[in-house]
Amino acid sequence: MPLVPELKHSTIPLSNGLQIPILGLGTSHDGGYSHKAIVYALNECGVRHIDTAKRYGCEEDLGKAIKESGQERSELWLTNKLWPGNYGYRAAKKACLDSCSQMGVEYFDLYLMHWPESLSHGGSNREVRAETWRALEELYTEGVCRSIGVSNFLINHLEQLKEDCSVIPHVNQVEFHPYQQPTALMEYCAERGIVFEGYSPLAKGQVLSDPTVCHIAHKYRRTPAQICVRWSIQNGVVTIPKSTKKNRIQENCQVFDFQLEETDMTALGSLHDGRRVTWDPTNVK
């Protein structure tokens, strides 16, 4: 019996009717992948959503871990991302199909353009983004990607894509934690039916020693990580904390049996100072 049975059922609807699990498990390069932890998350913690990227270099291992878990593919939500070095119409289609075969799956539940800047030649960023997005639209129509989205896109990038293409992204995955709350972008996404997904919900660990977070954690008898994950979820933000440690994965999943009071949501909301722990797309044209 999974430790957190509710986890499977907590989802957010996308504009195309699919339901994305609100809590997923992140993976990454730089020591961000553990085979045993993935199998444990799937089989013991009720995790049904895993976030990865071609860039993280663990697609093949992840595919093996999923198979080893014995979980049905149809029960899982797998997000993958296209690296900017593979932007452009033909390169994007090939990269997506290659990623599917690396992971041993026939489709992704969500496929994202990882970053708004192009690393391939042959046009402005805007032109290459549009051309790449057309490839994703086709992969969506063909069923290779059940939903398509973007990551690290700002309002100007989304506005251009709307003018240039036909499918509005289903999701925008962006850095989101108490220190980094892009409220104007969140409102923009909400008004256009784009689900806002937050990455680095623990600010890569930086927010876990924050006095306000620790004070609230003490009040609820929870850990700082649980407070941050719960805060994202209560904001309606899809969240994907990463851990390679079984006990931390379990801890990060145990966030559905308590609720933060409004005053504590406000206190966490007031911690924004604009700090980023990853990359900053502000200057990408």
CB 277 → ligand NAP: shortest distance, Å? 7
71 — phi, psi (to 5°)? -70, 145
119 binds ligand NAP (CB under 6 A): no
Q: Which of 32, 57, 104, 123 binds ligand NAP (CB under 6 A)?
A: 32
CB 246 → ligand NAP: shortest distance, Å? 10
Element (H, E) at 130: helix 125-142
Contact assessment for residue 105 and residue 97, using Cβ atoms and an 8 Å cutoff: no
236 binds ligand NAP (CB under 6 A): no
Q: What's at 200, amino acid-wise?
A: S
Q: Which of 40, 108, 199, 256 binds ligand NAP (CB under 6 A)?
A: 199
Cβ proximity to ligand NAP: between 19 and 278 the closer is 278
Binding residues among 53-92 for ligand NAP as defined by CB under 6 A: none
**Around 165, how many Cα atoms within 13 Å sit in the side-chain half-sphere?**
24
CB 218 → ligand NAP: shortest distance, Å? 15
Distance set, CA 75 to CA 47, 50, 187 (Å): 10, 12, 31
DSSP state of 85: G
9 carries a ligand binding annotation: no
User: What is the C-alpha to C-alpha distance for residues 252 and 222, in angstroms, rounded to an integer?
Assistant: 10
Element (H, E) at 20: strand 19-21
Q: Which of 118, 132, 152, 254 binds ligand NAP (CB under 6 A)?
A: 152
How far is C-alpha 87 from the geometric centre of its chain's CA atoms? 20
278 binds ligand NAP (CB under 6 A): yes
User: What is the C-alpha to C-alpha distance for residues 113 and 53, in angstroms, rounded to an integer?
Assistant: 10
CB 224 → ligand NAP: shortest distance, Å? 7
Count of Cβ atoms closer than 10 Å to residue 94 Cβ: 13
Q: Could you tell me which stretch among 38-46, 62-70, 89-97, 234-242 binds ligand NAP (CB under 6 A)? A: 234-242
CB 152 → ligand NAP: shortest distance, Å? 5
150 SS3 class: strand
Q: Which of 7, 21, 27, 171 binds ligand NAP (CB under 6 A)?
A: 27
State yes or no: is 89 an active-site residue.
no
Q: Which residue is nearest to ligand NAP (CB)?
A: 26
DSSP state of 167: S
Cβ proximity to ligand NAP: between 160 and 252 the closer is 252
197 binds ligand NAP (CB under 6 A): no
Nearest residue to 136 (alpha-carbon basis) of 102, 97, 193: 97
Q: Which residues are catalytic?
A: 56
> Residues annotated in the binding site for substrate, as ranges?
114
Query: Which residue ranges make up the site for ligand NAP (CB under 6 A)?
Result: 26-28, 32, 51, 114, 151-152, 173, 199-205, 208, 223, 225, 240-245, 248, 251-252, 278
